[in-house]
C-alpha cells in the first residue's frame, strides 16, 4: 500500500482534488472495486456531514487512514450493525469503517467490542471507558425547524442521549409567544458529547435538525497567551 502525503487530504472526499487528478490509476480502481461510476465519487457530498464518523477509539483521521487495514472485524463485532464499510465514494477511504448515524447510531457498548477487535491499532484497543471517546460532536444545525426550540414538547434527542444530563441538558426559557409555556432548549456540551449519533437518529424531523459534526476542539473560558 503506497503511503500518501495525507496532509493534503481534503476532508470532504477523503482524497484531495490534486490527488484525484494525479493518480488517475487509483481512483478508477477504487471505483471499479465499488462498482460505481465516476459520478459516484462525489456522491456523499449531498448529505455529507463533512467527514466520516469513525468507530469508537479511532485515532486521528490521517493516521487512521494509514492504519486501517479494512479487515471489517470491527463491523462484525458491532452487535447493532452500526459500523458500515465505506464504498468507492470514499476514495482513498474505500473499505474503511464508518457509522451512518441517521441509519444506525453507535450505542456505546460498555465493553467496546469494536475497538477491542481491531488488529492494526486504527481503533485503540486499550480504550476502556466508552465515555472518553470523541467520534464527533452533536450540533443543532437548524434551530428554526427544531420542534423543541419552537416551543413544542419534543426533546427526543435529550431523552435518548446515553449521556443524558451530561452531553445534553435542557435549559428552559419563557415562551414569549404563548406567554404561559416554557421552551425546553436542548443544549449540547461538547466536552461530554461523544458523537454517537443517537440524537441524530432519534430526531423526529424528516431531515434531522441535530447532527454529529466533526469534534469541536475544546477551548478554555479564559484567554490564554
Partner 1 sequence: MGLSRREFLKATAAAAAFAAAGTALLKPEVSEAAEDGIKWGKAPCRFCGTGCGVLVGVKNGKIVATKGDPAAPVNRGLNCIKGYFLSKILYGKDRLTTPLIRKGNKMVEASWDEAMTLIASKFKDAIATHGPDSVAMYGSGQWTVFEGYAASKLFKGGIGTNNIEPNARLCMASAVTGFMTTFASDEPMGCYDDLDLGDTYFLWGANMAECHPVLFSRLIDNRLKNPRVKIIDFGTRRTRTSQMADTYIKFNPQTDLALLNAIAHVIVEEKLYDDKFIKNHVVFKKGKTNIGYGLEDKFKFADDPKPMTFDEYREFLKTYTPEYAAKLSGVPAATIVEMARLYADKSRKVNSLWTMGFNQHSRGTWVNNLVYNVHLLTGKICKPGENPMSLTGQPSACGTAREVGTFTHRLPADMVVTNPEHRAKAEKIWGIPAGTIPAKPTYNATEMFRALDRGDIKVVWIQVTNPFQSLPNLNRYRKGARKGDGRFVVVSDMYPTKSTEVADVILPSASWVEKEGVFGNAERRTQQWYKQVDPPGQAKNDLWQTIELAKRLGHGNLFPYKYVEKEMWEEYRKFNEGQGKDLAPYEAYTKARGLRWPVINGRETLYRYAEGHDPYVKAGEGIKFYKNKNDGGKAVIWARPYEPAAEAPDKSYPFWLCTGRVLEHWHTGTMTGRVPELKRAYPSAVCEMHPDDAKRLGIKNLQKVKISSRRGTIILPVELNGRGKAEKGNVFVAFFDETKLINELCIDAYCPISGEPDYKKCAVKVEKA
Is there binding between residue 187 and partner 1 (CB under 8 A)? Answer: no
Minimal distance, residue 99 CB to partner 1, in Å: 16
Q: Using CB under 8 A, which residues numbered 125 to 164 contact partner 1?
A: 147, 151-154, 156, 159-160, 162-164
Nearer to partner 1, 92 or 184 (CB): 184
Buried/exposed 1-40: b ≥16 CB within 10 Å, e otherwise: eeebebeebeebbbbbeebbeebeebbeebbeebebeeee
Minimal distance, residue 74 CB to partner 1, in Å: 17
| Contacting residue, 107, 125, 189, 192, with partner 1 by CB under 8 A | 107
Minimal distance, residue 45 CB to partner 1, in Å: 25
Is there binding between residue 114 and partner 1 (CB under 8 A)? Answer: no
CB 208 within 8 A of CB 102: yes
User: H or E element: which one contains 84?
Assistant: strand 83-85
Buried/exposed 173-195: b ≥16 CB within 10 Å, e otherwise: eeeeeeeeeebbbbebebeebbb
| Contacting residue, 48, 182, 213, 215, with partner 1 by CB under 8 A | 182
In the structure grid, which three cell numbers stand for residue 173, read together? 426559557
Q: State the CB neighbour count (10 A cutoff) for residue 222.
A: 5
Tell me which residue has cell 472526499: 13
Is there binding between residue 172 and partner 1 (CB under 8 A)? Answer: yes
The footprint of partner 1 (CB under 8 A) covers 107-111, 147, 151-154, 156, 159-160, 162-165, 170, 172-175, 177-182, 184, 201-205
Amino acid at each position: 500500500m503506497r503511503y500518501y502525503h495525507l496532509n493534503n487530504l481534503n476532508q470532504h472526499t477523503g482524497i484531495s482534488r490534486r490527488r484525484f487528478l494525479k493518480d488517475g490509476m487509483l481512483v478508477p480502481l477504487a471505483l471499479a472495486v465499488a462498482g460505481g461510476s465516476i459520478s459516484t465519487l462525489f456522491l456523499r457530498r449531498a448529505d455529507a456531514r463533512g467527514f466520516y464518523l469513525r468507530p469508537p477509539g479511532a485515532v486521528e483521521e490521517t493516521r487512521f487512514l494509514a492504519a486501517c487495514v479494512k479487515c471489517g472485524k470491527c463491523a462484525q463485532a458491532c452487535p447493532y450493525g452500526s459500523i458500515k464499510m465505506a464504498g468507492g465514494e470514499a476514495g482513498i477511504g474505500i473499505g474503511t469503517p464508518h457509522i451512518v448515524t441517521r441509519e444506525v447510531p453507535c450505542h456505546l457498548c460498555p465493553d467496546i467490542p469494536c475497538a477491542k477487535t481491531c488488529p492494526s491499532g486504527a481503533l485503540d484497543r486499550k480504550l476502556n471507558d466508552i465515555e472518553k471517546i470523541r467520534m464527533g460532536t452533536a450540533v443543532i444545525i437548524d434551530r428554526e425547524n427544531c420542534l423543541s426550540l419552537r416551543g413544542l414538547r419534543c426533546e427526543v434527542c435529550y431523552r435518548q442521549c446515553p449521556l443524558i444530563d451530561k452531553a445534553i441538558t435542557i435549559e428552559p426559557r419563557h415562551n414569549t409567544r404563548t406567554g404561559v409555556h416554557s421552551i425546553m432548549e436542548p443544549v449540547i456540551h461538547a466536552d461530554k458529547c461523544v458523537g454517537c449519533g443517537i440524537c441524530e437518529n432519534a430526531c423526529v424531523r424528516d431531515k434531522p435538525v441535530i447532527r454529529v459534526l466533526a469534534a469541536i476542539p475544546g477551548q478554555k473560558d479564559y484567554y490564554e497567551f
